[in-house]
Amino acid sequence: MNRRDLLISSVAAATGVGLAGCDDHGASKLPQAPAPTTGPDGKRLIPWQNWSGYQFGVPVQRLVPKDEAELSDIMRHAPGPIRPVGAGHSFTALVPTDGTLLSLRNFSGLLSHDQDSMTARLGAGTRLGDVGPMLDEVGQALANMPDIDSQTLAGAIGTATHGTGAGLGALHSYVKALRLVTPRGEIIDCSAEQNPEVFSAAKVSLGSLGVITQMTLQNVPTHRLKRRSWLAPIDELIDNFDQLVSENHSFEMYYIPFCSQAMAVAINPTDEPMQPRGPEQDNDAVMQMKQLRDWLSWWPGMRQRLLDMATRDFEPEEAVDVWYRIFPSSREVRFNEMEYHLPSEALMPAFKQVRERIESQHHEEFFPVEIRVVRGDDAMLSPFQGHAVSSSIAVHRYHKEDPLPYFASLEPIYQPYEGRPHWGKMHTLSSAQLAARYPRWKDFLAVREALDPDGRMLNPYLRQLFGIS
């Protein structure tokens, strides 16, 4: 027996391989999408599912309007609830409907641009991953991007999707104008000057006011970014978090459960030569952390020792590339997620409680916890409304494992800080709780009532969320 075999045997024996690894972590409790049935034409009738597979529904019809005239007709006559769908990247039940599911595939692409004002008008169904090359070609760039670029523009702004950076707003904060097709078939153009109340409501509207078909974005000149990621002792990163945020254009931190080190990622403008990112390593790393969890969730001390040893020699990574190839990462390991936005002064007190609770009560957790910051804005339902800078804590649960016990354990931590949940991520707040945390909640509901008095856009989840019977 050579030394490696000896080590393998030792670790396998010590960890009881085959015992810890067979806990399904609530997999049997996960909701299951119904099996496809066969339609009258002999073809499968396919249920809709979101990215993680947690949300699903069987719409009576899926429609792909080719233009606004057809969409307007659908909005007036199609069976409700009418739900527009983007990339299905929301973890909440925003999309499921037994009525009409609308794809905006035909509302995509760069429609026009203006170099003087550095604005661009894009179809609302354009995926973020496609926005990058389109804008770069005309010399423009998004000011910021989220970590994932699969979402459509409408889905991203509708849920207040964001990246990270104290001086960088969420995507909706860069929307200068948008066009909305209402449930009554009206086509409304709105901006800060034109229908401003509708504009303030529609930027973050969860697809509840109608269907957004296009939007004008305030962009910046295209540029090159440098991404640097490194590991450091987590206590050091916590102590220096505010300084790192202020010193970098974009900064985020990943806490790795049961590891003494955390990952930092900083992104800054640069003129340095191109140095593209290599193959994505994060997906393999997450699955390796899962593997270690499977063996050692019952022995956190050894788990931490192994993680610390595995991360000890991690060399900082650097990449230089065009903006849209630096901001997002490829996330191949599916998950469900809960993210709360907090006032910046509440971030570290809340995070320390999250860390303590994970390490004391959630030995099953292995996904890194993501900590970001976002510049505030004034959209009615923006979670960043009223904050100069918001902070956020995002926790994840592997898509084949039940997320609810974990999320239910952590969610109370955010309540004394009046945290606001990300609209596309799982939470259990009631309409009354949300109303208390959004100063313009009633204003939004008034706009919604005016545009959709019959509630054609409301599925059961939205009715519950808005407190509408």
Q: How far is the CB of 145 from other proteins (least distance, A)?
A: 14
Closest to other proteins by CB, 287 vs 435, is: 287
The residue among 14 and 192 lying less far from other proteins, judged by its C-beta, is 14
Nearest CB to other proteins, comparing residues 227 and 387: 227
Minimal distance in Å, beta carbon 385 to other proteins?
30
Neighbouring residues of 186: CB distance < 8 A, sequence distance ≥ 6:
72
Q: DSSP string spanning 272-289?
A: SPPB---S--HHHHHHHH
Q: Closer CB to other proteins, residue 42 or residue 221?
A: 42
For CA atoms 317, 320, 326, 327, give the dihedral sign.
positive
- Show the tokens assigned to 1: 């027996």
Q: Specify the residue, 97 or 200, whose C-beta has the smaller distance to other proteins.
A: 97
The two three-digit tokens of residue 302, written as one number: 């050894």
Among all chains, which residue has been given the structure tokens 């063996």? 295
Q: How far is CA 374 from the centre of its chain?
A: 13
Shortest reach from residue 284's CB to other proteins, in Å: 5
Which C-beta is closer to other proteins: that of 87 or that of 177? Answer: 87
Q: Indicate the residue among 18 and 439 with the shorter CB distance to other proteins.
A: 18
The answer to whether 73 touches 84, Cβ cutoff 8 Å, is no
Distance CA 246, CA 234 (A): 18
The candidate with the shortest Cα–Cα distance to 211, out of 185, 190, 248, 232, is 185
Closest approach, Cβ 268 to other proteins, in A, equals: 22
CB of 156 to other proteins, least distance (A): 15
Shortest distance, position 363 Cβ to other proteins, whole Å: 17
Position 397, amino acid: R
Residue 298: count of CB within 10 angstroms of its CB = 14
DSSP H or E segment with residue 77: helix 68-77
Nearer to other proteins, 7 or 436 (CB): 7
Q: How far is the CB of 207 from other proteins (least distance, A)?
A: 13
Beta-ladder partners of 110: 122
Residue 83 in tokens:
């739900």
* Least Å from the CB of residue 420 to other proteins: 27
| Helical residues (DSSP H) of 106-193, grouped into ranges | 128-137, 153-158
Residue with tokens 């010399």: 139
Binding site for other proteins (CB under 8 A): 3-4, 7-8, 10-12, 17-18, 21-22, 33, 36, 43-44, 46-53, 56, 62-64, 85-88, 101, 103, 105, 108, 127, 129-130, 150, 277, 279-280, 283-284, 286-288, 290-292, 294-295, 306, 309-310, 312-313, 330, 332-334
Strands, sheet with 119-123, edge to edge from the N-terminal-most edge strand: 110-114, 119-123, 211-218, 175-181, 187-191
